[in-house]
Amino acid sequence: MGLPLRKSKVAPPPICPLTECMALLRGAWAPNVIWWLRAGPRRFGELRHDIPRISARVLSARLRELESRGMITRRVLDTSPPSAEYELTELGLELLPAIDAIVKVGMKLKHEPRARRRANA
């Protein structure tokens, strides 16, 4: 039997801003959904068309997560059959410059030969 675990008397550090921001974007496809909502409201089927490799199940999960994190809003449309459209909130719009910067680096890496990237590492 080991020694009992003592509670720390030190207050935990404040949450890292980078960690907090990246937590908003966690989950496969979350940045892609935000990317496609940048031009305005989209319905579920439109997003499935925009992101063909995402499954309906995963898209549904990402939309629920992004809505719960306050990054998108869901508005039920008065149509038959019922439909909903999704739109970025102010918080979601604030993340667009960060996503644009990541895309810019990704494009640079895509066009740079892998051998040269490894040599620079």
Q: Is residue 32 scored above 70 in pLDDT?
A: yes
Q: What is the pLDDT of residues 35-56, one digit of tens each?
A: 999 999 999 999 999 999 999 9
**Cα distance between residue 25 and residue 38, in whole Å:** 15
CATH code where residue 73 lies: 1.10.10.10
* pLDDT (tens digit per residue) in 54-105: 999 999 999 999 999 999 999 999 999 989 999 999 999 999 999 999 999 9
Q: Is residue 5 part of a domain?
A: no
**What is the number of domains present in the chain?**
1
**Which domain does 113 fall in, by range?**
19-120
Helix (H) or strand (E) holding 42: strand 42-43
